[in-house]
């Protein structure tokens, strides 16, 4: 009986680690299981701030992969894959680690997370800008702009509804990392394919952002009517 109570308590604690945000992405179940698995094995010296730094390091590795591919060989693009994993590791564990250790600073963590995410996207987009050539460099700019748009939507949604959600339907940051990894692998074997993937990704982000913006405006209108009553 005591073991059952302890087990139930552990499950409750595990759920509370993710209670500050609503996830709807396709990979959320497997991702949350992996995060919980890793949290129990993070060494004590690894603080949430260190994990944030590891996430930014991962983005720097992706940036370096693009630079090396531009100047030497496109095979260096494959370095971006462990870079994306490193980015996921730091970005996913920093805030969760704080909640797991019960040392969370909600607003500090929220602000730091947003700034680091923005810097990470800039690094990745900037790296692609150097790798691309001619007019295709504009796709790097559009990627950063559209991802920034999605970040703004998530902040406004939080302000209006009180719910913090980083996913757009079934697509979240983790799925985007998987997509970028596939793009890097494909470009390594089929040169020039990254341009077509970039166009498809940009169109996908544009469609998702447009839909989410309309939903956001409806939520804002509903909030206005609610406050007038």
pLDDT at 4: 43
Please answer whether residues 94 and 52 qualify as being in contact, where contact means their C-beta atoms are separated by less than 8 angstroms: yes
Give yes or no for residue 167 having a pLDDT over 90.
no
- Cα separation, 21 vs 167, in Å, equals 10
Per DSSP, 45 falls in state T
- Cα separation, 71 vs 67, in Å, equals 6
- Cα separation, 54 vs 70, in Å, equals 25
pLDDT at 15: 64
Three-state SS at 191: coil
Q: Which of 84, 98, 87 is nearest to 46 (CA)?
A: 98
Q: In CATH, what class is 28-228?
A: mainly alpha
pLDDT at 98: 92
End-to-end CA, the chain = 51
Return the domain boundaries, the chain: 28-228
Q: Which of 37-41, 58-62, 102-106 has the highest mean pLDDT?
A: 58-62
Report the sign of the C-alpha dihedral through residues 45, 87, 178, 22, in that order.
Answer: positive
Give yes or no for residue 2 having a pLDDT over 60.
no
pLDDT tens digit string along 57-99? Answer: 999 999 999 999 999 999 999 999 999 999 999 999 998 999 9
- Cα separation, 195 vs 128, in Å, equals 10
- Cα separation, 39 vs 22, in Å, equals 19
Residues facing residue 171 across a β-bridge: 168
Residue with the larger pLDDT of the pair 59 and 17: 59
Q: Which pTM value belongs to this model?
A: 0.87
pLDDT at 9: 43
pLDDT at 177: 94
Who contacts 152 (Cβ-Cβ below 8 Å, separation ≥6)?
none
Side-chain-facing half-sphere of 41: CA atoms under 13 Å: 6
6 pLDDT tier (thresholds 50, 70, 90): very low
Give yes or no for residue 10 having a pLDDT over 50.
no
pLDDT tens digit string along 148-166? Answer: 999 999 999 999 988 888 8
13 pLDDT tier (thresholds 50, 70, 90): low
Per DSSP, 44 falls in state T
DSSP string, 83-150: HHHHHHHHHHHHHHHHHHTT---HHHHHHHHHHHHHHHHHHHHHHHHHHS-GGGGHHHHHHHHHHHHH
Average pLDDT of 203-228?
93
pLDDT at 27: 87
Averaged pLDDT score across all residues of the chain: 89
Six-digit token string for 159: 């302000």
| pLDDT > 70 fraction of the chain, expressed in percent and rounded | 93
């Amino acid at each position: 009986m005591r073991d059952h109570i302890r087990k139930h308590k552990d499950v409750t604690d595990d759920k509370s680690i993710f209670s500050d945000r609503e996830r709807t992405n396709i990979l959320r179940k497997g991702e949350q299981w992996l995060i919980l698995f890793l949290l129990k094995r993070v060494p004590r010296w690894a603080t949430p701030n260190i994990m944030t730094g590891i996430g930014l390091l991962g983005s720097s590795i992706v940036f370096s992969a693009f630079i090396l591919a531009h100047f030497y060989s496109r095979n260096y693009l494959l370095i971006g894959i462990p870079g994306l994993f490193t980015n996921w590791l730091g970005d996913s564990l920093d805030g969760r680690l704080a909640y797991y250790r019960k040392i969370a600073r909600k607003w500090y963590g929220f602000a730091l997370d947003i700034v680091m995410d923005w810097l990470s996207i800039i690094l990745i987009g900037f790296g692609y800008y150097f790798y691309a050539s001619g007019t295709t460099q504009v796709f790097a700019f559009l990627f950063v702009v559209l991802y920034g748009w999605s970040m703004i939507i998530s902040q406004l949604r939080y302000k209006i509804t009180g719910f913090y959600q980083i996913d757009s339907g079934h697509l979240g940051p983790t799925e985007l990392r998987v997509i970028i990894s596939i793009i890097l692998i494909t470009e390594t074997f089929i040169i020039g394919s990254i341009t077509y993937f970039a166009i498809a990704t940009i169109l996908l982000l544009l469609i998702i952002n447009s839909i989410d913006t309309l939903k956001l405006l409806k939520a804002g209108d509903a909030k206005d009517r609610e406050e007038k009553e």
